[in-house]
Amino acid sequence: MAEPTRVVCPGSFDPMTNGHLDIVERAARLFDEVVVAVLVNEKKQGLFPIPERLELIAEVTSHLPNVKVDSFHGLLVDYCTDHGITGIVKGLRAASDFDYELPMAHMNDHMTKVDTVFLATSPGLSFVSSSLVKEIVKGGADASGLVPDAVRTRLNAALGR
Ligand code: PNS
């Protein structure tokens, strides 16, 4: 019998947006197991502490039984090797994402031969990013439709809205 396909959706997820969730939901339909893995970056603190990001991702993916949430330090390829993960799933919103992602995909392939699978972001979400969402909420706008409701509530609280 074939091995189950286990892939990772890595990122900062500060916080998870509807764009991220769309990619995770689609990966969960394509592959047997999906791990959403949050990079712990000591140099970049971000808005939400890592435990809160993990909690939010777990909450908004709780309808997906084959999705797990985790964090990792160091190289993504090492995390993949240690966890039997053979594919990295990334969303592409625009050509600029591709330009940023392709060298990483090639470097990861060079190091361990792990595959990267690019999914085209759903067109209605191609303008959504964590940084832009934080910026508009800071400025007083509403993030409905851009992030899951649970994330919107925490974002408003974190940014004093
Ligand atoms: O959401 P982000 O910040 O765009 O995610 C970037 C991430 C975490 C996927 C990328 O920076 C990464 O894989 N970092 C882990 C460190 C690593 O493996 N670096 C070498 C990449 S070739």
Q: What is the mean pLDDT of residues 99-122?
A: 98
Q: What is the mean pLDDT of the chain?
A: 97
User: Phi/psi at 72 (nearest 5 deg)?
Assistant: -145, 155
Residue 1 domain-assigned?
Answer: no
- For the Cβ of 91 lying below 6 angstroms from any atom of ligand 1, the answer is no
- For the Cβ of 87 lying below 6 angstroms from any atom of ligand 1, the answer is no
Pocket test for ligand 1, best of 12, 13, 83 (most atoms within 8 A of CB): 12
Handedness of CA 117, 94, 79, 18 (dihedral sign): negative
Over residues 26-50, the pLDDT tens digits come to 999 999 999 999 999 988 899 999 9
Residue 102 domain-assigned?
Answer: yes
Q: What is the pLDDT of residue 161?
A: 85
Residue 55 domain-assigned?
Answer: yes
Parent domain of 44: 6-158
Q: Is the pLDDT of residue 65 over 90?
A: yes
Residue 134 domain-assigned?
Answer: yes
- For the Cβ of 11 lying below 6 angstroms from any atom of ligand 1, the answer is yes
Q: pTM (2 decimals)?
A: 0.97
CATH number for position 66: 3.40.50.620
Domain total of the chain: 1
